Amino acid sequence: MKMKAMVYKGPKELQIEEVNVPEIGDRDILVKVKYCGVCGTDIHIYQGDGGSFEVTPPLIMGHELSGIVEQTGKLVTKVKKGDLVSVDPNDMCGECYFCKNAMEQFCLSNKGYGTTVDGGFAEYIVAGEKQVFLFREGTDALTAAMAEPLSCCIHGIDLCNITTGSEVLVMGGGPIGLIMMQLARMSGAAKVILSEPVAEKRELGLKLGADLVVDPIKEDLEEVLRNNCKNINTVIECVGNPKTIENAIDLAGKGATVMLFGLTGPDAKINVRPDVVFKKELKITSSFINPYSFERAISVIESGRINVTDVITDIVKLENAISVFENPEYRRKGKVVVKMF
Ligand SMILES: [Zn+2]
Ligand SMILES: [Zn+2]
């Protein structure tokens, strides 16, 4: 059987091709992909600066997917044909030092759907049973496709030290910033401030629950925070820009956690004054992929308590997916999802 897929052939080279539908093993599941989101990581891979993992073309990218179970291997018991599922793309070995010490994100022989093995920008994907997560009947498939980015955000939030009554500054109102903002509220923040230069994104931020939105270009963010907050306990940087990261460190309150969530290029550097870190006892941290958070992402989605679909600005067909990679305008607006059927 053949299927259509978008194949990554090397930096700046994508092609829609007919390829074989992969065979499934006894513990595998063949998923008919419904939606697959375009992630910042995919763009980094496309541009040739690597993502979280080493990528060897040819490869079908795509790791933010939902789909319908088409076929199950002989030993599969978790799901059946017709079920709505998502796939946790990061398949850890369970045997190495890091897997054995509650740090599976650093697994030494991780398999990554869409990064080291074929992913979701195709009509079908084969995934091992343990990577497949079932949604409650009636869950919307577009929402389900957001499980993976949400799981990454949940791991980030786990490391943000947000406590009840915290004041949280989110820098960057892209899809990730808008999800982080909502998770911060869910985690007990009393005040969430969103800093974002694009007016439409600030508006969406307000709709999704920001207590205050600031245009960091036209307004003096520091002054706004001084007038409206007691102490910024957590800053979540979702831009991945060295200048914004430096600002995040300056704007953080006393005893604050600064979460560097936005991905910079591999060679980016920041200027930090240790004196500032010292006087404020800052905890500067970051978050790598999605360990132990996929199940909770499913729960959060099923709870309906956060809105993960309003951050989606475009839904395109596979035939038009290459233009999403070629044209930065698409991504500047927000999240793009490829609709397979
Ligand atoms: Zn991703
Ligand atoms: Zn491992």
From first to last of its 341 residues, what are the pLDDT tens digits of the chain? Answer: 999 999 999 999 999 999 999 999 999 999 999 999 999 889 989 988 766 677 899 999 999 999 999 999 999 999 999 999 999 999 999 999 999 999 999 999 999 999 999 999 999 999 999 999 999 999 999 999 999 999 999 999 999 999 999 999 999 999 999 999 999 999 999 999 999 999 999 999 999 999 999 999 999 999 999 999 999 999 999 999 999 999 999 999 999 999 999 988 889 999 999 999 999 999 999 999 999 999 999 999 999 999 999 999 999 999 999 999 999 888 788 999 999 99
Counting runs of H as helices and runs of E as strands, what totals does the chain give? 12, 18
Laid out side by side, the sheet with 234-237 consists of 212-214, 191-195, 167-171, 234-237, 257-260, 283-286
Output the CATH code of domain 160-286. 3.40.50.720
Cite the DSSP H helix spans in 188-233.
Answer: 199-207, 221-228
Q: Report the chain's C-alpha Rg in angstroms.
A: 20
Question: Terminus-to-terminus CA distance in the chain, angstroms?
Answer: 17
The number of beta carbons lying within 10 Å of the beta carbon of residue 251 is 23
User: What's the CA-to-centroid distance between 62 and ligand 2, angstroms?
Assistant: 22
Kindly give the distance from the C-alpha atom of residue 30 to the centroid of ligand 2, in angstroms, as a whole number. 24
Is 309 in the active site? no
CB environment 142-170: b (16+ within 10 A), e (fewer): bbbbbbbbbbbbbbbbbbbbbeeebbbbb
Which part of the chain has CATH 3.90.180.10? 2-151+290-339
The segment(s) of the chain belonging to CATH 3.40.50.720 are 160-286
| Ligand that comes closest to the CA of residue 94 | 2
CATH architecture group of domain 2-151+290-339:
Alpha-Beta Complex (3.90)
How far apart are the CA of 101 and the centre of ligand 2, in A?
9
pTM (predicted TM-score): 0.96
Closest CA to 47 of 90, 89, 8: 8
